[in-house]
Structure 1
Amino acid sequence: MEQPIRKIIHIDMDAFFASVEQRDNPELRGKPVAVGGSKMRGVVAAASYEARKYGVHSALASKIAAQRCPQLIFVKPRFDVYSAVSRQIREIFFSYTDLVEPLSLDEAYLDVTENKIGMPSASIIAKEIKQRILEETKLTASAGVSFNKFLAKIASDMDKPNGFTLITPDKAEEVVSGLEIEKFHGIGKVTAAKMQSMGILTGADLRLRSEEELVRVFGKVGRYYYHIARAQDEREVQPHRIRKSIGSERTFDEDLSEEDEMLERLQHLAEEVAQDMARLQATAKTVTVKIKYFDFTLNTRSKTYLSEFSSADAIYTIARELLRTPQLPAYPVRLLGISVSSLTYQHDRQREGYQFTLEL
């Protein structure tokens, strides 16, 4: 019996962090906003569309961002707020399907081939989700709809912000053939540059290359490139996408030299990590502290325990010990980070047949 064509939606919030800040502060609306960093140092975590017109984007050094857009307004990130809004949006997704695969706080795949409201049209569901997000959060999202994950992701990027794009099976190869290679989801900047040096500028060019050649040049991932050039992607939406680590880090406006300052920042980081662990219903056995000095020298310190933990207090206590081991950082610190690993998830325990209560 032939399998039904899958109906996949990719939802991507528009300039999520920056849009939340503009929503909550009317004075920022219509103005170029960068979340994270400052005019002197740091890295932009997110940029409003007004800022993007000047070439400001995430991962850009704040100093360069300020040069490109002198009127840029820097805002400190509020990850607890973004996480809360993300949970609110995810609840909307779950009212349509349990097959939700979050990629980050601001985007997710949904498989609505079979859905909770019995709606045969994925396009109608996507538009309804967009409307509900707008009504319930006052934020806009872009949606892409197609028959596989690759095309749904490509579609959601084609008409931002507040966009909607449907790629049907009869149009898929045409869309992919005309797509610039650097816009292919799954092909990063380095790989795109290598492909361009080989004369592969578009999907049509990529389609001309054999699977054997792509595997020889790019390794196993070459098979993925071969198939997406033909609009083929058999990956399923995975509702329990396993993360191997959970972490948070900060680059500071001014280097930290005092222990009290470092410990205060560690406390906030531990709370953020614990919030994410609670959301994911996870426990950990390993804590890693990341320290970047004023001269960009990087140092990491880790410790693994036999017992599991998940509370902010436990994470902070371990991180504090690591910060002081073997001694306090000897030079001014520009960045601190905490991550936890050796994770166990509640749904894994339940699958094994015993109950588990998450420590909060």
Structure 2
Amino acid sequence: MLRKIVHIDMDAFFASVEQRDNPALRGRPIAVGGSAERGVVAAASYEARQFGVRSAMPSVTAKRRCPQLTFVKPRFDVYKSVSRQIRAIFDRYSSLVEPLSLDEAYLDVTEDRQGIGSAIRVASCIRRDILAETALTASAGISYNKFLAKVASDQNKPDGQFVVLPAEGAAFVAALPTRRFYGVGPRTAERMADLGIHTGADLRAQSLGFLQQHFGKSAMYLFRASRGEDDRPVRPDRVRKSVGGERTYAQDMTSSIELYAALEDIIDIVWQRIAQQGAQGRTLTLKMKYADFRQVTRAQSLPAPIVGREQFGELARAILAGLLPVPLGVRLLGLSLSGFETPTAQATQDIAEPAPAQYPLQF
């Protein structure tokens, strides 16, 4: 039996919550996080995105692109609360829910818990319930595997949905620009373009050996995805081991002032990801790569999970202080949070074993 996978992605989640709760912000370009002088954008409203403002963009760049941009302080407790509301809606329709962050998740709806009879209609019902109960919109992708469902959820954003049927998968992927492949970032897309690979069809024309030569561990994923294939199951008990981010700099940094300033940007970027995923960890690791490519890491663990950006930032700065002064210029800085609290074995078992199906579901 083919799986029926739905990927739900909230529309500009943080920014939409702020516009919902503050009518004065509705219809205006806003950025959650950062300020006009420093920091990075955690989320941008669709009005701001029209000017090219994006998440993880330096606030100064965002303000330059959109002079009328309003910066709003993030309220992560509120976002987590709304995310719990949305998760409760998911649980009505599937026992197999794999959250990716506070605002998106995969659902395996092959087993029709409510007897709706169609995966497309299930996605519509979920979006309807989210709107009715949170006053927020969501977009959905429906397909027979996770890769296609995730790509499809972006097809008709915002407040839309798109289905890729089994007979359409290969053709749909063939027409996709390589940048739309999940996990293909700007640099990888540039490397592909240099090799004459611009679309899914171009990828499919390459041998597995060629892809392994140029893309290493990603080769098998690209080989299969270019054919519309993805056997990964929806895993409600999936445990993330770490959340982090790093940045490579065009010019090596040598002074403490430069390093602390660069670290603040990394703190903003990584804490945004931690908050989006609702992660709670006890261990913070700082990674530093010198001009000669020698790499050092330093980690510090606390007896309890790190709470709030302030504590996260203080710990990161303390770890950096222990590495100063630097013997050489620094070309890369990175931070990661790990040591997450895991559910008990019984809780994991309760989540991972869904109730028997009542109805087989069609697309």
Fold-level similarity (TM above 0.5): yes
Paired positions, count: 310
Whole-angstrom CA distance in 2 between matches of 1:176 and 1:301 = 42
C-alpha change, 1:113 and 1:217, in structure 2 (3 Å) is same
TM-score under structure 1 length normalisation: 0.75
* Structure 1 residue corresponding to 2:179, chosen from 172, 182, 203: 182
* Structure 1 residue corresponding to 2:300, chosen from 292, 300, 303: 303
Offset, 1:97: 1.1
Instruction: Determine the structure 1 residue equivalent to 2:161.
Output: 164
SS across alignment from 1:95: helix
Letter aligned with residue 11 of structure 1: I
Instruction: Determine the structure 2 residue equivalent to 1:124.
Output: 121
TM-score under structure 2 length normalisation: 0.75
* Structure 2 residue corresponding to 1:196, chosen from 190, 193, 200: 193
Flag the structure with more relative contact order, 1 or 2, with Cα contacts below 8 A and sequence separation at least 6.
Answer: 2
Contact 1:15 1:46 in 2 (8 A): yes
Establish whether residue 66 from structure 1 lines up as the match of residue 51 from structure 2.
Answer: no
Offset, 1:203: 0.7
Instruction: Determine the structure 2 residue equivalent to 1:110.
Output: 107
Contact 1:289 1:323 in 2 (8 A): no
Offset, 1:121: 1.0
1:66-114 residue CA offsets vs partner (Å, 9 max, x unmatched): 1111111111111111111111101100111121111111110000111
Stretch of structure 1 that moved more, 20-29 or 172-181 = 172-181
Instruction: Determine the structure 2 residue equivalent to 1:214.
Output: 211
Contact 1:287 1:339 in 2 (8 A): yes
Whole-angstrom CA distance in 1 between matches of 2:317 and 2:132 = 45
Instruction: Determine the structure 1 residue equivalent to 2:97.
Output: 100
Establish whether residue 14 from structure 1 lines up as the match of residue 3 from structure 2.
Answer: no
Contact 2:143 2:149 in 1 (8 A): yes
Whole-angstrom CA distance in 1 between matches of 2:315 and 2:33 = 28
C-alpha change, 1:346 and 1:160, in structure 2 (3 Å) is same
Gaps spanning 5+ residues in structure 2: where? Answer: 246-266, 288-295, 326-333, 350-363
Instruction: Determine the structure 1 residue equivalent to 2:343.
Output: 346
Gaps spanning 5+ residues in structure 1: where? Answer: 249-265, 291-298, 332-336, 353-360
Offset, 1:325: 8.2
SS across alignment from 2:206: coil
Offset, 1:118: 3.1
Contact 2:13 2:103 in 1 (8 A): yes
C-alpha change, 1:59 and 1:276, in structure 2 (3 Å) is closer
Offset, 1:310: 4.8
| Identical amino acids, percent of aligned pairs | 50
Whole-angstrom CA distance in 2 between matches of 1:340 and 1:205 = 37
C-alpha change, 1:26 and 1:330, in structure 2 (3 Å) is farther
